[in-house]
Structure 1
Amino acid sequence: MSGLMTVPEVADQLRVHPVTVRRWIKDGSLPAVKVGRDYRIQAAVVEALVTGGAS
C-alpha cells in the first residue's frame, strides 16, 4: 500500500462496511483528509490498523 486510500478501499482492507469507516472518521478515531465530498486515508494508517499497531 502507498499513498492515500478511499473509504471503500479502506473498508475492503479492514473487512468492514464503508459506513463504519466514515463513522470512525467522524468520531476522530481514524484520521482522514477531505477531498471534495470524499475522504482519503493514509495507507500507512490503515497498514498500522491491519498489523495491530493502531494509532
Structure 2
Amino acid sequence: MPKGKRGTAEPKADTATASSQPSSVAEATLTIPELAEYLRVHPTTIYRLLRAGRIPGFRTGNLWRFDRAVIDRWAEQQTASSHSEGSPPPRRKGRKARTSERT
C-alpha cells in the first residue's frame, strides 16, 4: 500500500458522504442558474421576479433556492392566469402609434 506524505496510508474521500445532500433533495432544489435553464429564461429575469416578490423561493445564507414542485405549481398558475379571459393584452414596447391628425 502506498504511503502518504506523512508516512501513513490515507483513504480516498468518498464523494457521497453523510454530510452531502441526498440526490432526491438535491434534484428537488434548484439554484438560480438551474432555475433559469429549467424555465428557459435569463438569470436576470429570475432576480427581477424575486425582487418583485412574484416567484416562490427561499434563501439559504446568501444563496437563493427553489423547490422544483413549488415552481411547477407556480408556473402552471402563471400559465392559467395569462390565458384567462379577463387578463389585459400584453404591453407593447416601442413608439406609440402616430395619429393621422396633426396640429
The TM-score normalised by the length of structure 2 is 0.45
Structure 2 residue 42 is matched with structure 1 residue 12:
no
How far did 1:45 drift?
2.4
More strand by share: 1
Aligned residues: percent identity? 33
Structure 2 residue 67 is matched with structure 1 residue 46:
no
More helix by share: 1
The aligned length equals 52
Of structures 1 and 2, the one with the larger relative CO (CA 8 A, separation 6+) is: 1
Q: CA RMSD of the aligned region, Å?
A: 1.9
The runs of 5 or more residues in structure 1 that have no matched partner are none
1:33 aligned partner: 58
The TM-score normalised by the length of structure 1 is 0.76
